[in-house]
Structure 1
Amino acid sequence: MKSPVFISSFGTVSALGQSKAEIWNNYKTPKHFITKHMFGNKEAFAAFLPKEVRNDIETLRNTNSQYGKIDESVLFAIFSARKAIKEAGWGNDKNIGINIGSSRGATGLFEKYHKEFIKNGEASTQASPSTTLGNISSWVAQDLQSAGPEFSHSVTCSTGLHAIANAIAWMQAGFCDKFLAGGSEAALTPFTIAQMKAMKIYASEELDFPCRALDMKKKRNSMVLGEGSGILALQNQNSEEALGRITGIGYATEILKHSVSISEHGESLQKAMRMAVGKKELSEIDAVVMHAPGTLRGDLSEVNALKAVFGENIPAMTSNKWKLGHTFATSGILNLELAVLMLQHQEFIDVPFSEISKIPSKLENILVNAIGFGGNAVSILVSRK
């Protein structure tokens, strides 16, 4: 990076809620927010948005007749972007870039329209325009009436952190001084849950903590899906209100033997973390908010990558997926939010059942990881303001 980029605000919704105080309080409690739900005719663990957040989002939907036609993933993003803009104090600024992505896209609407097609043999007029990937950033731009560049993308579960990397590249190239970047996901549908179960990676055991992210003694895969949206307001200029500094970005893709596999020692994560750390001493990295999806291979690969990069002096490790589920494209943004909150409060949130999640002696620089199908890894280094 040519110079640090500053985080002005977060606009997030997840199983933890929506306000900074509520989210931090829910991180402080040792409980999780994963429950069992019916998906079709089968039960599965999942982490849905709280009822109060749902009600607020439905209120937003009712403010515009067009919003009745858009997917929940798009509506979540509009809601989060409004929050980010308000908290950043950017209400009168229209020259804002937008890069918001999604791993699964308009899941609910796509399944609805496909079901209608199978039944009737015809597609709805809205089937194509309401399910294209570009819906998310385009609708956010429409809602905010922004005049800057806007684009959407999907890089599976690393989508949110890729959006940050893209936004910073545009900002440091001089196209825009301010950017909204993030991810949105509303994929808690029967077909999506069935896809995860088909890969044999989904949680099935009735335990106090169904998702065992960073439990290195687990014998079974334990991934659980969640829903949510996360948007960052980023700017080139520092300010008194800035929440933190992004001081490094790393990215890499590894050659895979299988479309959903990751190498035993997480080669792409190693490269991404080294690039993000840059010229800093490894000893300056205090903690890592890990991707750690709760799968046997995924968790072990990331721990191995950390050992390869840091040797015996591994930073403190934590994850939030045991608490709020894996939110696909949004997960990296929620990881970054946790990192910033820990830096602000100078308090480490560990994984209560993990023997390797140890409290660090200080919190100044935190790495944030994300990796998705296809071996696309991203690491972001965030530093205390």
Structure 2
Amino acid sequence: MTDFARTAIVIRGRGSVSALGTAAVAPVSAASPFTARSLGAQQAPVGSIPAAEEELLQALRRQQPAFRQLDRTVLLGLLAARTARMQAGWHSEDELSGNPSSDMQAALLTVSIGSSRGATGRFEEFHNSYLTEGSVPAAASPLTTLGNVASWVAFDAGSQGAALSHSSTCSSAFQALGNAVAWLRAGMAQRFLAGGTEAPLTNFTLAQMQALGIYSPFGAEQWPCQPGAGAPNTFVLGEGAAVFALERLGPEALQAERKQRNAPLLVLEGVGFGFEAIPSKTGLSPDGQHFQRAMREALQQANCQPHEVDALVLHSPGTTAGDAAERRAVHAIFSGQLPACTSNKWLVGHTLGASAALSLNYACELLLGAAPAALPFATWINEHPVQKPLRRIMVNAAGFGGNAASTIVALAD
């Protein structure tokens, strides 16, 4: 067995923020977390972060002069990354007060963050300023490049390693995660902060989603995002972030830690990717060929068979064609014997480049014993409920352009 196969990538910490606040699983009796946003004469449901998390975000913005100019996407990523580092123990009092630390082996920490659109709000502000005033400030370019997402997370962590930003539409977070896993297994880094962040709730972005004809016709209080329900399309845009503190452990170190720990240890077993060259950049094949490739690759990396997967967290964004294609792909991989199936988009909406990371965080909570609520509408997903203790979960993601990705997370044996 090669060193590559024997290396374990453990999740030391996790941080997230979404329409559920900092939770990954909603209480069974929860009401719809969505709110209404005015878009012209229409009201569009959106998954915006709650008031308490909004206060945290604004407090973070005021914490340092440099933070006041950052896009909301970057700030959401900073919030999630700080929580992940705190859980992992990769922090100091200086870091928590907003001053980067120098005592955490900073050179060994690498950052990899995915975002489909990056600094959406700031870009639109600068562009509007140019149209109205004919000029833009010098900071416009550095504040709106995709690379500034990961670089600010790295700055806040006191990292001296690489800061990598990824954009591959709605599978961006898993692109970041896959890169982290590859670097860790190759010995190019010892610690990684990896995940995704997105703040797309601008009028222009909402108008783009509505122009596609996929936006939900239901009100915010009606559970407007309905994965697996069929027609009509029920896509709902959300904002959020999730970041993971990852570390590489050899087999001896993994076994020694398992003996010492009283808590379960989560391991990333595989990150697979799939692509299909389709004529329409917004479409996908009816049987989700890119999903199938991604799931097969993840299974191969994890060295496990389909029947060893206990549950699936589906990408399932509530679009008729997308949901149906993923369902056919899942049936093809699991030979019709589906494991338990669930989704979190009915609770947080589709957060674009952050969606895969939020789904993975949800999967982690399920592995640690959280009980998901049944989806409160008619959907095929409820035909495969999560009922038994879970050891291994596959998480799917896909996006425009034919990209798909699948990740397998498990409790360490």
1:346 is displaced (CA, Å) by 5.8
C-alpha distance in structure 2 between counterparts of 1:113 and 1:210, whole Å: 32
Q: Name the structure where helix makes up a greater proportion of residues.
A: 2
* Equivalence map 1:60-99=2 (5 Å): 60-91=60-91, 92-93=103-104, 94=106, 95-99=108-112
Q: Does the 8 A contact of 2:342 with 2:385 survive in 1? A: no
C-alpha distance in structure 2 between counterparts of 1:140 and 1:372, whole Å: 24
C-alpha distance in structure 2 between counterparts of 1:266 and 1:232, whole Å: 28
Which of 340, 345, 348 pairs up with 2:364?
A: 340
C-alpha distance in structure 2 between counterparts of 1:42 and 1:112, whole Å: 22
- 1:129 aligns to what SS in structure 2? helix
Other-structure match for 1:325: 349
Other-structure match for 1:271: 293
* Deviation string, structure 1 residues 165-202 (Cα, Å, up to 9, x no partner): 00011111111111000111111000000000000011
C-alpha distance in structure 2 between counterparts of 1:359 and 1:270, whole Å: 22
Which of 228, 237, 241 pairs up with 1:214?
A: 228
- 1:166 aligns to what SS in structure 2? helix
1:352 is displaced (CA, Å) by 3.3
**TM-score normalized by structure 2?**
0.88
- 1:288 aligns to what SS in structure 2? strand
* Equivalence map 1:80-159=2 (5 Å): 80-91=80-91, 92-93=103-104, 94=106, 95-159=108-172
**TM-score normalized by structure 1?**
0.94
* Equivalence map 1:191-210=2 (5 Å): 191-206=204-219, 208-210=222-224
Percent identity for Structure 1 against Structure 2: 39
* Deviation string, structure 1 residues 2-56 (Cα, Å, up to 9, x no partner): 23311111111111112xxx444x2544533112111355321101101110101
1:359 is displaced (CA, Å) by 2.0
1:114 is displaced (CA, Å) by 0.6
Q: Does the 8 A contact of 1:211 with 1:321 survive in 2? A: yes
> More displaced, 133-142 or 85-94?
85-94
* Equivalence map 1:180-191=2 (5 Å): 180-191=193-204
1:183 alignment partner AA: G
Which of 305, 312, 330 pairs up with 2:336?
A: 312
C-alpha distance in structure 2 between counterparts of 1:47 and 1:78, whole Å: 19
2:327 alignment partner AA: V
Judged with a 3 Å threshold, the aligned counterparts in structure 2 of structure 1 residues 348 and 322 are, in CA distance, closer, same or farther, namely closer
1:149 is displaced (CA, Å) by 1.5
C-alpha distance in structure 1 between counterparts of 2:40 and 2:62, whole Å: 27
Q: Does the 8 A contact of 2:24 with 2:361 survive in 1? A: no
C-alpha distance in structure 1 between counterparts of 2:231 and 2:145, whole Å: 39
1:355 is displaced (CA, Å) by 3.4
- 1:141 aligns to what SS in structure 2? helix
Quote the RMSD (CA, aligned, Å).
1.7
Other-structure match for 1:294: 318
Other-structure match for 2:100: none
Other-structure match for 1:248: 270
Q: Does the 8 A contact of 1:30 with 1:352 survive in 2? A: no
- Ranges of 4+ aligned residues in structure 1 off by more than 4 Å: none
C-alpha distance in structure 1 between counterparts of 2:28 and 2:90, whole Å: 30
1:348 is displaced (CA, Å) by 4.5
C-alpha distance in structure 2 between counterparts of 1:146 and 1:189, whole Å: 31
1:204 is displaced (CA, Å) by 1.3
Structure 1 alignment gaps of length 5 or more: none
Other-structure match for 2:236: 224
* Deviation string, structure 1 residues 188-228 (Cα, Å, up to 9, x no partner): 0000000000000111134722111121xx32111001101
Which of 385, 393, 398 pairs up with 1:359?
A: 385
Which of 6, 11, 14 pairs up with 1:7?
A: 11
2:209 alignment partner AA: M
1:259 alignment partner AA: K
The count of aligned residue pairs is 379
* Deviation string, structure 1 residues 80-112 (Cα, Å, up to 9, x no partner): 111111111012421211001210111101111
C-alpha distance in structure 1 between counterparts of 2:152 and 2:264, whole Å: 26
* Equivalence map 1:156-195=2 (5 Å): 156-195=169-208
2:72 alignment partner AA: E
- 1:146 aligns to what SS in structure 2? coil
- 1:68 aligns to what SS in structure 2? helix
2:285 alignment partner AA: S
Structure 2 alignment gaps of length 5 or more: 92-102
Q: Does the 8 A contact of 1:214 with 1:319 survive in 2? A: no
* Deviation string, structure 1 residues 311-359 (Cα, Å, up to 9, x no partner): 1211111111111100111111111111111110163544232233222
C-alpha distance in structure 2 between counterparts of 1:349 and 1:286, whole Å: 17
C-alpha distance in structure 2 between counterparts of 1:266 and 1:355, whole Å: 17
Judged with a 3 Å threshold, the aligned counterparts in structure 2 of structure 1 residues 62 and 109 are, in CA distance, closer, same or farther, namely same
C-alpha distance in structure 2 between counterparts of 1:346 and 1:325, whole Å: 20
C-alpha distance in structure 2 between counterparts of 1:350 and 1:169, whole Å: 36
> More displaced, 107-116 or 84-93?
84-93
Other-structure match for 1:376: 403
Other-structure match for 2:97: none
2:280 alignment partner AA: H
Q: Does the 8 A contact of 2:166 with 2:173 survive in 1? A: no
